[in-house]
């Protein structure tokens, strides 16, 4: 099996349950706050490891209790976290997450130590990348580091996956070394606007077909209960979602990306088959609270 390398964010998630998400200017009463490990990079790394992949992670945490807890969870998943910087000057990143009774969420992220990740950290973390490996990236760390990591891995023959989340404000040079772009239905609309396609092809199903020639990489679009979409050999492919009663959708997309990367690293699976496995894993995750803690192990996911 090839190795999955992840360069990205690590956060402590402050979770609050509410009956309904607040509107602008509105105050709502929530549950007592709970704290759990998260961050898009960390979630995706844990998902890939729990799916059975060998995973190496590059990122940063603070020298605090939250950072130590995150490192414990990475170790429990079997992740090589030797390239996680422990900052003595910045606190571990924090995400404040409100989840309503329908399982939908609103998230505010304070980067903390994630903002201190350096180009040297990235180079050291990717030193062992070789042809056939998979690199997974997101956009919760500085964009310059995302571009650097993609270029380094691509030059060594790795397959590069970018989860364009949070949605970028610009895409110049961001996708030059990306093989597969993973976005949700909101993020693909943002990309359509950045490329001038917004208003021309507004449906996310259509955008999956229209955007690759413009952007370059292949695209997988996740759409919650509608499943996920891609294009294979010019033909649209729809992978239905597994029907479940969602309790908390936090981390579902990260579970999808991590399982997708593990599938592509671990065998000769075609993309739709990898998407189906990732969809099954996400369906398990949304039935549980939290982000990293909700990610299932391989034996909990239907084959």
Q: Which residues on neighbouring strands pair with residue 158, listed in sequence order?
A: none
List of residues 6+ apart from 164 with CB closer than 8 A: 138, 139, 174, 181, 182, 183, 187, 191
**Four-CA torsion 65, 11, 137, 243, nearest 10 degrees:** 120
Q: How far is CA 153 from CA 156, 198, 289, 302, in A?
A: 5, 31, 34, 31
Please confirm, yes or no, whether 299 is among the known catalytic residues: no
Contact 157, 130 (CB under 8 A): yes
3-state secondary structure of 63: coil
Widest pairwise Cα distance in the chain: 52
DSSP 188-251: HHHHHHHHT-TTTS-SHHHHHHHHHHHH-SEEEEE-GGG-EEEEETTEEEEEPPPP---S--TT
Q: How far apart are CA 85 and CA 252, in angstroms?
A: 26
- Catalytic site residue from 100, 254, 268, 299: 254
Active site positions, annotated? 254
């Amino acid at each position: 099996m090839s190795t999955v390398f992840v360069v990205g964010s690590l956060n402590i998630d402050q979770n609050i349950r509410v009956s309904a998400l607040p509107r602008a200017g509105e105050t709502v009463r929530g549950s007592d706050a709970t704290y759990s490990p998260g961050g898009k990079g960390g979630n995706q790394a844990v998902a890939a490891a729990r799916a059975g992949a060998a995973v190496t992670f590059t990122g940063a945490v603070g020298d605090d209790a939250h950072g130590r807890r995150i490192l414990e969870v990475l170790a429990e998943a079997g992740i090589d976290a030797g390239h996680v910087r422990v900052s003595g000057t910045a606190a571990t990143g924090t995400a404040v997450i409100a989840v309503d009774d329908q399982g939908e969420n609103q998230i505010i992220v304070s980067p903390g130590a994630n903002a201190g990740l350096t180009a040297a950290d990235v180079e050291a973390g990717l030193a062992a990348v070789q042809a056939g490996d998979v690199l997974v990236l997101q956009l919760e760390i500085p964009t310059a580091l995302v571009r650097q990591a993609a270029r380094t891995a691509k030059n060594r023959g790795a397959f590069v996956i970018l989860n364009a989340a949070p949605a970028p404000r610009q895409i110049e040079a961001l996708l030059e070394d990306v093989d597969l772009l993973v976005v949700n239905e909101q993020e693909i609309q943002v990309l359509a606007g950045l490329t001038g396609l917004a208003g021309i092809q507004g449906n996310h199903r259509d955008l999956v077909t229209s955007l690759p020639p413009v952007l370059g990489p292949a695209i997988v679009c996740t759409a919650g209960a509608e499943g996920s979409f891609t294009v294979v050999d010019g033909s649209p492919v729809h992978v239905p979602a597994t029907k479940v009663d969602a309790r908390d959708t936090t981390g579902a997309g990260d579970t999808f990306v991590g399982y997708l990367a593990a599938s592509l690293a671990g065998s000769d699976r075609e993309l739709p088959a990898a998407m189906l496995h990732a969809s099954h894993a996400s369906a398990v995750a949304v039935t549980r609270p939290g982000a990293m803690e909700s990610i299932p192990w391989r034996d909990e996911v239907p084959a």
